[in-house]
Structure 1
Amino acid sequence: MQRYSKASAIVFGLMMTVLCIVIAVETVLRKFLGHSLAGVDELSGYAIAIGAPLCFTVAVIEQAHIRINLLHMKMPAFLQAATNLLAALTLAGLALFLLVFTARTVQETQLFQSVAQTPWATPLIWPQALWLVGMSVFALAAVLLAARAVRLALAGRGTTLRRDYGPDTVENELEAELSDLEARA
């Protein structure tokens, strides 16, 4: 799963780097030559739509999504495991819902052969197909992690479920920050 996460992060990073370069070129052309590439805002929208599910993928795999663990750390161990399982299942449910929504949108776009109402008049099936791929990557990761959480729960491995699916403790976060600081020094 770490390779999956890293690949998603690299693709997103490359997309955003290219987008930044295009925006910089657009800005310079407008400022000094009075010329516009036209459509950079359209490209930005596509990049965000395609990149967002890739970021979701990294967050779900790395357990980097925001969670409020004030109550979680006060719960008994079995309840922590149960809430971690519930969180994994609901996140997988959300990912599947988003995937179905995206797939229906792409089907509609294909049916009506929709094009963007922009200077480029881009056939929307192209960026939306990439959006569907990104959402599929996110849904697959979320479902695989939820399935693993269910297997752990059914096997009675609550400790592993708490460790792998629970929020980081303050000690773990401190240790990670200190090792990061040491690596930079």
Structure 2
Amino acid sequence: MLRLQSVAEGIARAGSIAGGALLLIASILVCIDITLRYTLSITLGGADELSGYALAIGSAWGFSSALLSRSHIRIDTVYVRVRPRVRALLDLLSLAVLAFFFGLVSWYAWGVVKQSWDSNSHSLSEIEAPLVVPQALWFAGLVFFVALTLFLLLRGLIALFTGDLSTLFRLIGSKSAVDEAQEEVVNVERAFEQERKE
């Protein structure tokens, strides 16, 4: 299980880095396009379309990284006031609902990809991109996210049944303010250590 989780973390990290790079490239293209449009009255064509693809793909792959680092937003007004076992059940319930919702999204995303493949659809812009390529990358990110969510749900259930609530909270629990502060301290220490080495 730990090896599988470390592989999943590696894939999620690579996916989020690639998604971030796509967003950076798209924003540079949009800036160039705007500059050219206002200074020389010419346009690159398709920059807005490519930025849309980058946003969809980057978001789909970024979901997994956010889930693993527990960076997603949760309203924990009640959560922090209940007993640990109830918190564990709430964590598992929220993960199950997340898996169900994104399972539905992935199901309909597959329909979009299949339709684009069957009809050989291309974009209507100047670049006439085959739509199946960005849609397949988007779909792959969603499927990976659903698989990761189910994997964490399984690990959470095992931790609950074995009474290992600390592992469950570390995997899928909502971060407390103390946890976030400790992470920031560790990150600052790493940054100082790296500066000393250089």
Return the TM-score normalized by structure 2: 0.84
Match of 2:36 in 1: 29
Aligned residue among 94, 98, 118 for 2:105 = 98
Match of 1:39 in 2: 46
Match of 1:159 in 2: 166
Contact 1:106–1:129 (CA under 8 A) maintained in structure 2: yes
Q: Is 1:118 the counterpart of 2:125 in the alignment?
A: yes
Match of 2:88 in 1: 81
Residue ranges of structure 1 left out of the alignment (5+ in a row): none
Match of 2:23 in 1: 16
Deviates most, 127-136 or 170-179: 170-179
Counterpart-to-counterpart distance in 2, 1:175 and 1:61: 17
Q: Is 1:176 the counterpart of 2:196 in the alignment?
A: no
Contact 2:63–2:145 (CA under 8 A) maintained in structure 1: yes
Cα distance, 1:184 vs. partner? Answer: 5.0
Cα distance, 1:2 vs. partner? Answer: 3.0
Cα distance, 1:82 vs. partner? Answer: 0.7
Residue ranges of structure 2 left out of the alignment (5+ in a row): 1-7, 193-198
Give CA-to-partner distance per residue, 1:50-76, whole Å, 9 cap, x none.
111112111111111001112111101
Cα distance, 1:170 vs. partner? Answer: 1.9
Counterpart-to-counterpart distance in 2, 1:181 and 1:157: 30
Q: Is 1:129 the counterpart of 2:127 in the alignment?
A: no
Alignment of 1:43-82 (within 5 A): 43-82=50-89
Contact 1:50–1:134 (CA under 8 A) maintained in structure 2: yes
Cα distance, 1:28 vs. partner? Answer: 2.7
Contact 1:115–1:123 (CA under 8 A) maintained in structure 2: yes
Give CA-to-partner distance per residue, 1:19-49, whole Å, 9 cap, x none.
1221222123223322111111111111111
Contact 1:95–1:142 (CA under 8 A) maintained in structure 2: no
Counterpart-to-counterpart distance in 1, 2:121 and 2:163: 51
Contact 2:57–2:138 (CA under 8 A) maintained in structure 1: yes
Cα distance, 1:154 vs. partner? Answer: 2.8
Cα distance, 1:142 vs. partner? Answer: 1.4
Cα distance, 1:17 vs. partner? Answer: 1.8
Counterpart-to-counterpart distance in 2, 1:162 and 1:26: 46
Contact 1:59–1:65 (CA under 8 A) maintained in structure 2: yes
Deviates most, 17-26 or 157-166: 157-166
Counterpart-to-counterpart distance in 2, 1:162 and 1:138: 19
Amino acid at match of 2:86: L
Counterpart-to-counterpart distance in 1, 2:141 and 2:182: 33
> What root-mean-square deviation, in Å, do the aligned CA atoms of Structure 1 and Structure 2 show?
1.9
Query: Which ranges of 4 or more aligned residues in structure 1 deviate by more than 3 Å?
Result: 178-185
Higher relative contact order (CA 8 A, sep 6+): 1
Return the TM-score normalized by structure 1: 0.89
Counterpart-to-counterpart distance in 2, 1:5 and 1:113: 30
Contact 2:106–2:142 (CA under 8 A) maintained in structure 1: yes
